[in-house]
Chain A
Amino acid sequence: MKGIDDAALLERARRGDEDAFSELFSRHQRAVFRYAVYMCGADAADDVVQDTFMNVLLKSGRYDASKGAVISYILGTARHLMLRRLSRSSSIPVGEFTEDLNLEGSIERETPLDDFARQETIEVVRAAVQSLPPAHREVIVLCELEEMDYAEAANVMQCPVGTVRSRLNRARALLSRKLGGVIQ
């Protein structure tokens, strides 16, 4: 199964091939899970992963290879499901972070105390990402954490590439401001 591309795996999984499904799931569940954690919270992430893969498996005929990679299709499906949840939930309060932690330095040091500091810094960064407005949080998750290019992210977000670019710039500016004490 390792050498089979995603599209073929999806096709086989839809025909009931459990090995193909497991391989597809193992390749992409983490991306969906992370996307869900940032957009809906950790409590809902398992449900989002399950609903997303159910949807992808049972709604046959919707994947169009000419419109993008399977991962874009899967994340697009996840996005559609999460939008419903986001529309029901209240917005996360925006917080400011002022702790004076040096990320670069802490990554390079190796003592247990520094590991702790590094982990603490990462949690601060994670919280900053989670405190962004949903549209900006989403573009950070897709472009920065998933390392998707603008076109792939635009495919998932169903918007023009220019919107992805400008939203990412804005999101990075917001993050820089929130993390002022951490990354200066």
Chain B
Amino acid sequence: MTTNDSNGRDSKLNAAMRALAEDDAKLRSSPDVEKRLLSELRAYSRTRRRRTWLGVSSVAAALLLGMALYVWRIGNRQPSDTVQSPSAPEAAITEVATEFLPLPYYHVPMNTGSTVRIQVPATALVSFGLAPNGFREGDGTVQADVLVGDDGLARAVRFVRPLRN
């Protein structure tokens, strides 16, 4: 094959490619694809907003618990008057509790800890993804046990539901 032959074939191949590219301009995905993607995007945005809201609520709940604990520590030097042990036999009979749910400082090591019973708004329970039904007291609060380390940092919380006869 001569150089001229080769050049001629190259230019014809280029022309063929251009013609194909122009013809391909009509190619496009089905309109349903964009609709489905928009729907997925909406669902994803909703989930992300919900997750963000839950995160903010969790932090707010943790702050609330921390403040309650602080007030309790300042205002009461005799914990035995106000602190109840949920594991005490009488508590076990009259109430049930959720598992301990981690708070922001749950990963900080501690030597000893104790639980402190406080009352928090029912929304604190919702922020952990739990339904407040059955936990809510008459004034719209729920009871919670906060696990506090010997360094004063709250590690976890569990919500307590009184057993009513």
Binds B, one of A69-77, A84-92, A121-129: A121-129
Contact with B along A31-52 (1 / 0, CB 8 A): 0111001000000011001100
B6's nearest neighbour on chain A, judged by CB, is A176
Secondary structure class of chain B's binding surface, majority of residues: helix
**Cβ–Cβ contact A46 & B33, under 8 A:** yes
Residues of A within 8 A of B30 (CB): 46
Contact-residue size bin, chain A (C-beta under 8 Å from the other chain): 35 or more
Q: Which of B9, B12, B13, B28 is A29 in contact with, Cβ under 8 Å?
A: B28
Contact-residue size bin, chain B (C-beta under 8 Å from the other chain): 20 to 34
Considering the chains assembled together, what is the distance between the CA atoms of A119 and B22 in angstroms? 11
Considering the chains assembled together, what is the distance between the CA atoms of A182 and B21 in angstroms? 17
Residues of A within 8 A of B41 (CB): 13, 16, 18, 21, 57
A22 beta carbon closer than 8 Å to chain B: yes
10 sampled A-B residue pairs with Cβ under 8 A: A16-B48, A33-B29, A46-B30, A49-B29, A50-B37, A104-B12, A125-B16, A125-B20, A145-B17, A172-B13
Residues of A within 8 A of B (CB): 13, 15-16, 18, 21-22, 25, 29-30, 32-34, 37, 45-46, 49-50, 53-54, 57-58, 103-104, 107, 118-119, 121-122, 125-126, 129, 140, 144-145, 147, 172, 175-176, 179, 182-184
